[in-house]
Amino acid sequence: MIWSTGLPRCEIQKGDPCYPALLAETCDAPDVLHVIGELDALAPGLAVVGSRRATPYGLAAIDLLAGWAASAGHTIISGGAVGCDQAAHRAALERDGRTVAVMAGGADVAYPRASGALLREIALAGAVVSEHAWGTEPRKWAFRTRNRIIAGLGAALLVAEAALPSGTFSTADYALDAGRTVLVVPGSIFSASSRGTNRLLAQGAVPITDPSELRLCLEPLLGCGLTELPDARREPPEADPLLEALIADPMRPDDVARAFGMDVVTTMRRIGVLSAAGLVERYRDGRYGVSRRYNRR
């Protein structure tokens, strides 16, 4: 069965009232968008991109940051590819959030082939879009040109992980040309997978190390999101053992993982909950400990 069977689809022309306003403002917006899913999902959101060969660090960063943004009610926009793209879509879906996949072929053509089930989930929770006609197979050059749509749909672009060279740079260039804020997750200077992201930081991109920093950047662009914090962002109980441990002895995420027997994704998600609630913060040496706000209580 074709993954999109039974799902609503339409074509919208540039100039139609339902054509995404932010995308329409860009200099090379497509004349037509083919959409499977809900048109409402094409509202401004956060574009998230990164390496197809994502490391556990990159995947954990996406789960933490894109997951928080989705929990706050912001649409997550990415390209549907393996690695960071699919991690961003899944982070949104796991929080019952909205997500949009921009395809390099026809919107109804699954690429990679094995991603049909994920694309169906995306369309049910948001939309799958393309500038190409139905049934078009993806071509190599189209992956770069579709990046302008990813950048154009987002009010900001978050680059989670990128090596050198990286196709992610084209998305960052499109975002800058469109006047978008480029946000970057810093990486280790010893990791080849972070050389691209660290280069973007050296060129003036905004570093993002936790959900509270992401929130400060997104609020002027997208508003404050949900007025009531979802469960993942409500202030945890004072008796949270992780909070108590970080108050007693600030730790780096890898130390937390060892101490509590958790994997890196779970560790960063737990720390993210505490950080978004304003209870812990990242220190300059990379450790997480009690926040100044919490100390003032």
Pairing mode of beta strands 280-282, 99-102 = unpaired
> What are the CB-based long-range contacts (under 8 Å, 24+) for 216-224?
217/156, 217/181, 217/183, 218/46, 218/69, 218/72, 218/74, 218/155, 218/156, 221/44, 221/155, 221/156, 221/181, 222/44, 222/45, 222/46, 222/74, 222/155, 222/156, 224/72
Residue with the two structure tokens 């810093």: 186
How far, CA to CA in Å, does 183 sit from each of 93, 132, 160, 175?
22, 29, 9, 10
pLDDT of residue 295: 56
Q: Which helix (H) or strand (E) holds 231?
A: none
Q: What is the pLDDT of residue 228?
A: 39
Query: What pLDDT score does 283 carry?
Result: 80
Q: Where are the beta strands (DSSP E) in the chain?
A: 9-13, 32-37, 45-49, 76-78, 99-102, 127-130, 154-159, 181-184, 206-207, 280-282, 288-290
State residue 165's pLDDT score: 83
Low-confidence ranges of the chain (pLDDT < 70): 1, 224-239, 276, 292-297
The reported pLDDT for the residue numbered 43 is: 92
The pLDDT tens digits of the residues spanning 236-253 come to 445 688 888 888 889 988
Q: d(Cα 118, Cα 88) in Å, to the nearest integer?
A: 12
Which of helix, strand or coil describes residue 127?
strand
Q: What is the pLDDT of residue 167?
A: 82
Q: What is the pLDDT of residues 89-129, one digit of tens each?
A: 999 999 999 999 999 999 999 998 899 999 999 999 999 99
Which tokens in the block code for residue 166? 């990286």
- Give the CATH architecture of domain 241-296: Orthogonal Bundle (1.10)
* Residue 231 pLDDT: 42
Tokens (6 digits) for 165: 């060279």
Residue 172: CA atoms inside 13 Å, Cβ hemisphere, count?
A: 25
Task: Give the end-to-end CA distance of the chain in Å, rounded to a whole number.
Answer: 58
Q: Delimit the domains of the chain by residue range.
A: 9-222, 241-296
Residue 239 has a pLDDT of 60
* CATH no. for 9-222: 3.40.50.450
Mean pLDDT value across the chain? 88
